[in-house]
Amino acid sequence: MNNLKVIMVMFDTLNRHMLPPYGCDWVKAPNFVRLAERTAVFERSYIGSMPCMPARRELQTGRHNFLHRSWGPMEPFDDSMPELLKQNGIYTHLATDHQHYWEDGGATYHTRYSSYELTRGQEGDPWKGEVQDPEIPESLGGHEFMPNLVRQDWINRKFMREEKDFPQARTFASGIEFIRANATQENWYLQLETFDPHEPFYAPQRFRDLYPHDYKGKHFDWPPYAPVRETREEVQHVRFEYAALVSMCDHYLGQVLDLMDELDLWKDTMLIVNTDHGFLLGEHDWWAKSHMPYYNEIANTPLFIWDPRSGVRGERRKSLVQMIDMAPTLLDFFGLKIPEDMQGKPLRDTIASDVPVREAALFGIHGGHVNCTDGRYVYMRAPISTDNQPLYEYTLMPTHMRSLFAPDELQQIELAEPFTFTKGVATLRIPARKAQSTHPFGTMLFDMEQDPLQEKPIRDTEIEAAMERMLIGLMQQNDAPREQYVRLGLDVSVG
């Protein structure tokens, strides 16, 4: 098999529990059903570093980054999968409407590809310029802290009058254009990536019509990152709005599947359909992500892979896999060496016959709970103090999501000793910004076999001690900074 190609269709905020192949019986997504019939479907795919750009750093580098860094750019010492492919004669193309790529905290990612096409207009992307304020309906959402983002979003929506104008539609059109133009060529990787179904949940009317309901409340398609305070009717309405956007994603996924059928790409093209994380739609009395423990609605992600080498289709896989496995899997598919600093594992044998690649998975967000799972138990280790200290950023690229580090953040800057993965390079050690701490939630342990919805944390000193040892071992493998153990109250001697 010489004419190798890979298509990755990546969604943002795609909830596994809202997809028919994972048991949802009311969201209309027939192409996801069709996809599951053509691929290996993973039951225990877990996030690693959260949220959007930290996950994409994992996609490129094959290693966790949340213990050392919050949202930030690719670093000079990072191994970049698309860049390694490019350097070894594999053409890489990114077609995306994920606006975080062209913000301060993501501007070093898309330039790793051979070429890229950026589609504007998602969320509050500063796309169209209008001095006059737009008309904004009275809305729910609690977004007073980001008025400029909301203002820009309503300007952007004015330029989405027809379905073809929506960023997702334009992104898939550009991705399909690439596939048609290069179907007979060999050795390429396409990352076709849409920000949908990320909030705000704004979809063309025909997809919203799939979920008729009588809602007479305020405009509501953009849940806050906060506890649920809305009525049952309002919660159900926003779930329908999310479902409409999932159905839109399903429609455009179907176009890719149709094209693979038409061009007979199944014989030599790997297909990966994945997401960076899920989203709470009122479960556990929370909206969104980032500010609460990472329950499975966020952490346990959908993943579908077709590998033409094994031809496995319509089968389930129970092995623990993570985003860090994507880079090694792609490098292995093209016969390239996997860098030593990558922690992920190639999934060729896992796809073929469910061969495990790890005993446990590590996941979390910088400054939040640090979590691990062995597939049955999920252990969430909380900070032991209300001030969530000590906590530092290690970086040579001091930017946040949409801004540079401010001068006052850099007053206590130090030079840190190199980590095992920084290739002998020292990094800047910067005190982290005060962030919302998950300390009040406490440390929690869940038995997924007995409590799949994670409604009742268990108390079992023996199991917790074993999971604590597992967590310490995973942190040590990641060369976690010493202060992370202090912040979490972990005794390294028990690891």
Write out pLDDT tens, residues 29-76.
999 999 999 999 999 999 999 999 999 999 999 999 999 999 999 999
Tell me: the pLDDT tens digits for 358-374?
999 999 999 999 999 99
Statement: residue 142 has pLDDT above 90: no
Among 144-153, 182-191, 317-326, 391-400, the minimum mean pLDDT is found in: 144-153
Q: What is the pLDDT of residue 122?
A: 98
Tell me: the pLDDT tens digits for 270-283?
999 999 999 999 99
Q: What is the pLDDT of residue 380?
A: 98
| In contact, 438 and 383? CB cutoff 8 Å | yes
Q: Report the distance separating Cα 132 and Cα 302, nearest Å.
A: 42
Q: How would you label 71-99 residue by residue, b for 16+ Cβ within 10 Å and e otherwise?
A: bbbbbebbbbbbbbbbeeebbbbbbbbbb
Q: Report the distance separating Cα 218 and Cα 17, nearest Å.
A: 27
Statement: residue 1 has pLDDT above 80: no
DSSP string, 21-66: GGT-SSS--HHHHHHHHHSEEESSEE--EESHHHHHHHHHHSS--T
Partner residues linked to 193 by β-bridges: 10, 96
Model confidence at 494, in pLDDT bands (50, 70, 90)? low
Statement: residue 495 has pLDDT above 70: no
Statement: residue 188 has pLDDT above 60: yes
Q: What is the pLDDT of residue 445?
A: 98
Tell me: the pLDDT tens digits for 445-464?
999 999 999 999 999 999 99
* Pairing assessment for the beta strands 414-416 and 427-431 based on DSSP bridges: antiparallel
Q: Report the distance separating Cα 113 and Cα 58, nearest Å.
A: 15
> What six digits make up the tokens of 462?
């023996």
Average pLDDT over residues 66-95: 98
Strands of 83-209, DSSP E: 91-96, 115-118, 188-193
Statement: residue 126 has pLDDT above 90: yes
Average pLDDT over residues 309-322: 98
pLDDT above 70 coverage of the chain, percent: 99
Average pLDDT over residues 109-116: 98
Average pLDDT over residues 424-436: 90
Statement: residue 231 has pLDDT above 80: yes
Q: What is the pLDDT of residue 435?
A: 67
Q: What is the pLDDT of residue 39?
A: 98
Rg (CA), the chain: 22
Tally Cβ neighbours within 10 Å of residue 193. 24
Model confidence at 487, in pLDDT bands (50, 70, 90)? very high
Closest CA to 132 of 154, 162, 160: 154
Cis peptide before 54 (omega within 30 of 0): no
Average pLDDT over residues 67-93: 98
Q: Which residues contact 86 (CB under 8 A, 6 or more apart)?
A: 92, 112, 113, 114
Q: Report the distance separating Cα 265 and Cα 262, nearest Å.
A: 8
Model confidence at 144, in pLDDT bands (50, 70, 90)? confident
**Cα 124–127–128 angle (5° rounding)?**
110
pTM of this prediction exceeds 0.95: yes
Mean pLDDT for all residues in the chain: 97
Helical residues (DSSP H) of 217-371, grouped into ranges: 232-262, 296-299, 326-333, 348-353
> What six digits make up the tokens of 223?
């849940």
Model confidence at 262, in pLDDT bands (50, 70, 90)? very high
Tell me: the pLDDT tens digits for 329-346?
999 999 999 999 999 999
Q: What is the pLDDT of residue 141?
A: 86
